[in-house]
Amino acid sequence: MNGMAMRRPLRRMTVVLLWVALAIGVAWFYDYRRSMQSLWKIRQHGRIVVLTENNANSYYIYKETPMGFEYDLAKAFAGHLGVDLEVKTPGWDDLFASLQRGDGDFIAASMTHTRKRERHADFSEPYLSVRQHLILHKSDHSVKTPADLAGRTVHVREGTTYQQRLEALQADGIDLKLVLHRNTPTEELIEQVAKRQIDITVADSAIALLNRRYYPDIRIAFPIEKEQPLAWAVRKGDRGLRAEINRFFDEIKENGTFTRIYNRYYTAVDTFDYVDVKKFHQRIYTRLPRFRPLIEKAADRHGFDWQMIAAVIYQESHFDPFAQSHTGVKGLMQLTQVTAEEMGVTDRFDFEQNISAGVAYLAKLRHRFDDIEDPRTRLLFALASYNIGYGHVRDAQQIAENLGMDPNRWQSLKEVLPLLRNREYYADTTYGYARGNEAVRYIERILTYYDILKQKKAF
């Protein structure tokens, strides 16, 4: 009897434990099902909605085409899922509320992942790191340490990590005045600094470096915060979508897609020549208008963006129709005598002949790279050929292939072109030695000018 009496409570305890385990299992199952539901719905509906910011860093429309670093990443993620992408820009202050209301599926807005923000959303693994920098006018060298902010006024957007950091500096005893702007993009505050409408703002390094192109009169001062990770945000508990985003970032970093997208917007962003960029901004208004109709006409005839052609012409001649180099190239597009004869040019200093022939020749070079599927890459190869010669570009492709690289990717060519200066590489090529590093710089400058022109509201 005693043994039976002892077994009864053990059986009851076992039953209770089984019921508890079952309850936990059921709860886990429903929680897991709920966490996977949004991803299932996205695939069922064939659409995913991204919440982002409307600015040069995240998302903007250029010639009726959506662009931006975050947009391109989000578009690639939609492709990864096999669904369409819809974009919503509710404004910075409403991003989390829009996510929680279900207006969008995830936030991709170059947002830093902080513990405070974890109250509102779950975050993916980071895909970039940034640091907060003070932004001042180029002429202002009075702020060299955080302590120099005492008595100064700093303007930032409300609800940002910039605000949090500046409040921490105030708590540390630095008597700075903080002015908060509701839903004002950081880019606008940077512009106000450039125009001396405000003294100081703060921006993440990526935003600061990109906007320095558009506002060359700013100075990117010292960082005021350690590195912070950028990540995408999903609704709390949405583990399925978060896990898929993490898989996506792992995949595109492995296959090179992330690097291609990053380079599309941030090529040579660390390289900044104040005098050159400042002069370009001025000549957009003083020199370009004279030639714009001819540039537009030639670009349209051959299927180019006229602002890209304008960027090429500026790189070639700084919009000087009588430019002539020591090598004998002449005019706006710096035509060689051989190219001029090939394209039927009788006077290389004739504006219309020079532009028309130069653009036609660039189109001819682009056509010679029809074996490259991506239109942007095809254009970059054509530009490299315009600068260094078609044969040298084909040599560089062969070197890339020999090194186990994809010869039809610009990133490969960018790494290989400088090797044409080294005998061990050019000795076995068809066309031999070339200053390939100059071709890389040539294209980087063109892309910088093109990016500036795209952002110019007057154009």
Q: Is position 431 within any domain?
A: yes
Q: Is position 421 within any domain?
A: yes
Residues 327 and 451 reside in one and the same domain: yes
Q: 262: part of which helix (H) or strand (E)?
A: helix 257-266
pLDDT for 15 equals: 60
Residues 310 and 432 reside in one and the same domain: yes
> Considering only CA atoms, which of 176, 166, 152 is closest in space to residue 202?
166
Q: How far apart are CA 183 and CA 93, in angstroms?
A: 6
Pairing state of beta strands 47-51 and 106-112?
Answer: parallel
> Considering only CA atoms, which of 210, 201, 255 is closest in space to residue 58?
210
Q: Is position 18 within any domain?
A: no
Give the chain's largest Cα–Cα span.
119
Q: Write the pLDDT tens digit of every residue in 178-231.
A: 999 988 899 999 999 999 999 999 999 999 999 999 999 999 999 999 999 999
Residues 163 and 115 reside in one and the same domain: no
What range does the domain containing 279 cover?
275-455
Residues 298 and 410 reside in one and the same domain: yes
> Considering only CA atoms, which of 358, 269, 343 is closest in space to residue 311?
358
Residues 66 and 190 reside in one and the same domain: no
Q: How far apart are CA 365 and CA 286, in angstroms?
A: 31
CATH for 107: 3.40.190.10
pLDDT for 327 equals: 79
Q: Which of 248, 266, 284 delimits the end of a domain? A: 266
What does residue 108 show for φ and ψ, rounded to 5 degrees? -130, 90
Q: 135: part of which helix (H) or strand (E)?
A: strand 132-137
Residue 57 and residue 95 in contact, taking contact as beta carbons nearer than 8 Å = no
DSSP string, 214-261: H-TTEEEEEESS--EEEEEEE-TT-HHHHHHHHHHHHHHHHHSHHHHH
Q: 452: part of which helix (H) or strand (E)?
A: helix 436-455
Per-block mean pLDDT, blocks of 10 residues, the chain (459 long): 57 64 51 68 95 92 88 97 96 94 96 94 96 96 94 95 95 96 92 96 94 94 94 95 96 94 86 88 95 97 97 96 88 94 94 96 97 95 95 96 95 95 90 92 95 81
CATH for 363: 1.10.530.10
The two structure tokens encoding residue 434: 């070339």
Active site residue 342: no
Residues 214 and 253 reside in one and the same domain: no
Q: Is position 16 within any domain?
A: no
Catalytic residue among 188, 316, 438, 444: 316
Residue bearing tokens 């950091």:
165
Q: Is position 336 within any domain?
A: yes
Q: Is position 100 within any domain?
A: yes
Residues 316 and 387 reside in one and the same domain: yes
Residues 348 and 279 reside in one and the same domain: yes
Residues 332 and 427 reside in one and the same domain: yes
Q: How far apart are CA 205 and CA 296, in angstroms?
A: 35
- Counting the structural domains of the chain, the total is 3
The residue type found at 43 is R
Q: Is position 201 within any domain?
A: yes
The two structure tokens encoding residue 8: 């009864």
Residue 82 and residue 89 in contact, taking contact as beta carbons nearer than 8 Å = no
Q: Is position 191 within any domain?
A: yes
Residues 320 and 393 reside in one and the same domain: yes
Residues 114 and 80 reside in one and the same domain: yes
Residues 116 and 77 reside in one and the same domain: yes
pLDDT for 3 equals: 56
Total Cβ atoms within 10 A of residue 318: 14
pLDDT for 29 equals: 47
Q: Write the pLDDT tens digit of every residue in 114-170.
A: 999 999 999 999 999 999 999 999 999 999 999 999 999 999 999 999 999 999 999
